[in-house]
Amino acid sequence: MLIDTAKGLSEIIDRAMQADSVAIDTEFVWERTYYPRLGLVQIGVSEDECYLVDTPAIGDVKAIGRLIANPGVVKILHDAQQDLIILNRVTGALPKNIFDTRCAAGFAGLSSTISLSDLLRQLVGVKLSKTESRTDWLKRPLTERQVEYAIDDIRYMHTLRDKLLQRMKDSRREVWMEEERALYEETERYEEKDPYTQYKKIKGKRRMSAQDSSMLKELAAWREETARKENRPRGHIVSDEALVNLCRLKPKASSQLKGVKGLYDGEVRRYGSAILKVVKKGLSLEDNIGAEHHEKFHVSDVLNAQTDFVLAYMKGKSIDSKVDLALVSSRAEVTALLSDGLSATPENHRLLRGWRREFLGEELLQLLAGKYTLRLDRDTGLPRLMPAS
């Protein structure tokens, strides 16, 4: 059922608030803007009771926030973070009691990066259509195929949740899943990232000098703030390539901007003055600001070898325990932990906190301390820790 009035929305939210669990999904367009443009919110009270909220028609959909923030109703989503960020932005509500089926899959012996389509096919025996995955969700009226696609995305979520919980039943994995679920309620997840951290995502920064790294940090922050203000994609402001080349050439006059590879004439006309100011600021910064980050860009061959060694142990543990390694940690996190060694603290490394420490963090510290060695198990063939002789 399509809901396109504020009154209708309020009524279905009241209905959903009485349920034990509700499936939620969003459809949006994210092509020429910094922020996604919400086209539809799907709300599934049950397999046979699904609603499509026409957000462009209603405009103010803050009523959905009542449901999102209600701790008494489980909200079931797949790959929840992006949907929750969008819903938080349009409602202002902080999510409570979230069940992410993709995260749960990682604790249920499956991939924690699995698509909803593959997960439903494996556990529920349902095959979803992919024909409308790149459709224009802002265009009206919606086609029959769009409506069917949107409903199918939530129709089977209650059954899917039951299947996942059954696979985790009577194991520590169910407790660990609860710990991960609580993370979706953290305020900082829905706050915009510090613009001064955006330089870390830029390709081509690895071979930069300390001063160039400092300048890149300033330029990336300026671009991020501009993109947000104008609601345009970062690449539509200035490309990564242009930012890196600006750091290398360090232009001091408008005429020099034309020689920067990747920087187009229109961008020079629109942002040239601002760019020169940021470059000037970057030149005035102390080298050690960039040096601190510059060192982190480089990982030695020895540290890479150590990371491979530890990841082999972690992979074996994950396979044996039916917990997806991608859910536990990333290679970068392991490298950072090894870099700090025995001086590593829980505050700086999530591998040493909560369920991750219980699962393998404590053993990892013992391995680093030389109290364990790594060997192949004769029966399983998997790497296992053994007491050092």
7-38: pLDDT as tens digits: 999 999 999 999 999 999 999 999 999 999 99
Over residues 92-129, the pLDDT tens digits come to 999 999 999 999 999 999 999 999 999 999 999 999 98
All residues at 6 or more sequence positions from 299 whose CB lies less than 8 Å from its CB, including other chains? 307, 335
pTM for this entry: 0.91
Second CATH level (architecture) for the domain 301-387: Orthogonal Bundle (1.10)
Helix axes 157-168, 172-183, angle to 10 degrees: 130
- Pick the range with the lowest mean pLDDT from 58-67, 227-236, 294-303: 294-303
Q: What topology is assigned to 2-190 in CATH? A: Nucleotidyltransferase; domain 5 (3.30.420)
pLDDT for 101 equals 99
Phi, psi of 39 (to 5 degrees): -110, -25
Over residues 259-302, the pLDDT tens digits come to 899 999 999 999 999 999 999 999 988 654 444 544 454 568 89
Same fold? 2-190, 301-387: no
All residues at 6 or more sequence positions from 302 whose CB lies less than 8 Å from its CB, including other chains? none
Residues constituting the chain: 389
Report, as an integer, the average pLDDT of 153-165: 98
Q: Where are the domains of the chain?
A: 2-190, 195-296, 301-387
CA dist 279 → 202, 215, 218, 253, 284 (Å)? 17, 6, 8, 10, 9
Name the 3-class secondary structure at 123.
helix
CATH class of 195-296: mainly alpha
- Pick the range with the lowest mean pLDDT from 118-127, 205-214, 245-254, 323-332: 205-214
Six-digit token string for 354: 């909560």
Q: How confident is the model at residue 75 (pLDDT cuts 50, 70, 90)?
A: very high
Report, as an integer, the average pLDDT of 189-214: 90
pLDDT at 134 over 90: no
Q: Kind and range of the H or E element at 386?
A: strand 383-387
Could you tell me where the DSSP H helices lie in 170-300?
172-183, 210-230, 234-237, 240-249, 254-257, 265-284, 287-296
Are residues 363 and 384 in contact, defined by beta-carbon separation less than 8 angstroms?
no
pLDDT at 207 over 90: no
Buried b (16+ CB within 10 A) or exposed e, 261-298: eebeeebbeebbeebbebbeebeebeeebbeebbeeee
pLDDT for 342 equals 87
